[in-house]
A and B are shown apart, each in its own frame.
Chain A
Amino acid sequence: MPANPATLAALTARFGPLPTSEFRGQTRVVVARDQLLEAMRLLRAELRFDLLVDVTCVDYLNYRDAANRFGLVYLLASTDTNERLTIRVYLNEPQLTVPSVIGLWKGADWLEREVFDMYGIVFDGHPDLRRILMPEEFTAYPLRKDYPLQGRGERHNFPVLTRREA
């Protein structure tokens, strides 16, 4: 179901015209990085998007016709109005910091940690921004496209136990 025109109108009234696209009934709005927190506050408080479904990210390195490196994706839903909306923020190195939305949705905690773990996006204001899936001593961001699928040898980097030692 496409987003309610009133929602888009409210966003446009606050931030001016935003790049908006629709694909198979899903509306996607691109927000600038420094407007993200304000837009999210508007969506949460006034437009009643009370559910943060997911926070994820896309690495557009070597992608055809891509102008930006990372596309941060927020999937929002409203249990009130059954509305769904996708908010995107484009990020480029070296500015890979965005404000955390954990103050608006508590559920953003682990979602943002996962994006940090996999892509190295820093969420400013996150109370506990640690790796969530990879081991703590891991140094790379594995879902970036410049990281090789088979890793840089981290998976072989362990002591070898023989019968004599154990």
Chain B
Amino acid sequence: MAIEVPENVVVTKLDELASWCRKNSLWPMPFATACCGIELMATGASKHDLARFGAEVFRFSPRQCDLMIVAGRVVMKMLPVLQRIWQQMHEPKWCISMGACASTGGVFDTYAVVQGIDRFIPVDMYVPGCPPRPEQLIQSIIDLQEMIQREGTIEGREFELASRQQTKRALVELPMYGRIPDGRTNDGRPMSQPIRNLKSEI
């Protein structure tokens, strides 16, 4: 039996409808720690006008956001803060790693700077540049919107994929220098163990 559908009715899947709603109202959480934050502000301001893509409302409370934009280098004192904020954000949530420092540590290959936030929190989009132009950040948000539309589900099943649970290759392959002191992180959890101990191999 055929069902008559009027012209002004669109038939779609619920997953796609949810993704369409989500992608067009991203609420960014600006985790701006360095000069990338200036470009992030420029992106949100009137000249580059992120409002055209439905993501202009920056909220400084993680509980009101679903897109974390990490803009700038993250030092080891800041990383527990970053993780806490990421945990406070509601599902579904996404993360953009903006700029060379957030993605890889950039030129700051020193004892205090985390060499890429993707070692410790999940990242969906990387933006190269030092700092990236606002156009690049907008492009990454457009790409993220496409990704949400393409694979999003109303129950968030896409986050359960094995590929999204994997530790980043860089973390596995990274040589560790020296011994890690025994101890606990700020919130009382045991520190992660070194993957490899380069010194003992030499």
Contact = CB atoms under 8 A, between A and B. Distances in A.
Q: Answer yes or no: do A and B interact.
A: yes
Interface of A: 133-135, 137, 139, 142, 147-164, 166
B12 interface: no
B20 interface: no
B159 interface: yes
Interface stretch (B49-57, B118-126, B129-137): B118-126
A162 B180 contact: no
A153 B193 CA distance: 10
B37 to A, nearest CB: 21
Given A142-B111, A158-B83, A161-B122, A152 B177 contact: yes
A134 B185 CA distance: 13
A26 to B, nearest CB: 30
Contact of B181 (A139, A155, A166): A139
28 contacts: A137-B184, A148-B177, A149-B109, A150-B111, A150-B177, A151-B112, A151-B178, A152-B177, A152-B180, A152-B181, A155-B76, A155-B112, A155-B113, A155-B114, A156-B114, A156-B174, A156-B176, A157-B76, A157-B192, A158-B80, A158-B191, A161-B86, A161-B120, A162-B122, A162-B164, A163-B122, A164-B165, A166-B86
A150 B177 CA distance: 8
Nearest to A152: B178
B160 interface: yes
A135 B111 CA distance: 12
Nearest to A149: B110
B6 interface: no
Contacts of A157: 76, 180-181, 185, 191-192, 194
